[in-house]
């Protein structure tokens, strides 16, 4: 299972889930220390801004970022490491996109729209970053289906911060 949380609830989510693997997606230049219970191999911190295209002075999510998050997710030893936690600052855009793409990579047989609808059901505020999803769509050979599914669920409910939720992988 993949837990998605805002930064403000990261420690509480770590404590309550016993997770041993964390993907951090914060703005380029934001400093965050390795959570004390984790080894460096259990934590991936990718610096990117929450933008959907190139903006001067900002770091847009790149194919390289998405390749790294997919590799981290695909190397996740679920039986030994327990849940994966994915977080960004608010738990609304970058982290929900990352959870969606990792779940799609782990379950290539799962319908993209069904997965997007499940994400919306679990997180009414989720507004997955479309650039992260587009990069993953290409890297995973989904032929636009992932991007279209996320476009169809639309923007989530307005909120300054999401509520932690669990996306089950299944299979």
Please give the radius of gyration of the chain, using alpha carbons only, rounded to the nearest integer. Answer: 14
The Cα 86–Cα 96 span in angstroms is 8
pLDDT digits (tens, 9 = 90+) for 9-20: 999 999 999 998
Beta bridge mates, 46:
25
Exposure b/e, 55-87, CB count within 10 A at least 16 = b: eeeebbbeeebbeebbebbeebeeeeebbbbbb
**pTM score of the predicted model:** 0.95
Domain boundaries, the chain: 2-167
pLDDT digits (tens, 9 = 90+) for 130-160: 999 999 999 999 999 999 999 999 999 999 9
Top CATH class, 2-167: alpha beta
């Amino acid at each position: 299972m993949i837990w998605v949380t805002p930064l403000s609830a990261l420690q509480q989510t770590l404590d309550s889930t016993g997770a041993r693997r964390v993907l951090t997606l914060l703005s380029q230049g934001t400093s965050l220390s390795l959570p004390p219970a984790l080894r460096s191999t259990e934590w991936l911190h990718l610096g990117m801004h929450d933008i959907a295209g190139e903006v001067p002075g900002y770091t847009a999510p790149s194919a390289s970022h998405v390749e790294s998050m997919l590799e981290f997710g695909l190397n996740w030893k679920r039986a030994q490491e327990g849940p994966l936690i994915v977080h960004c600052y608010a738990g609304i855009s970058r982290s929900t996109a990352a959870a969606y793409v990792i779940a799609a990579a782990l379950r290539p047989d799962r319908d993209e729209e069904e997965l997007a609808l499940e994400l919306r059901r679990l997180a009414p505020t989720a507004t997955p970053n479309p650039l992260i999803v587009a990069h993953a769509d290409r890297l995973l050979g989904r032929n636009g289906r992932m991007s279209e599914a996320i476009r169809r669920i639309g923007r989530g409910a307005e909120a300054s911060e999401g509520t932690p939720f669990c996306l089950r992988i299944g299979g």
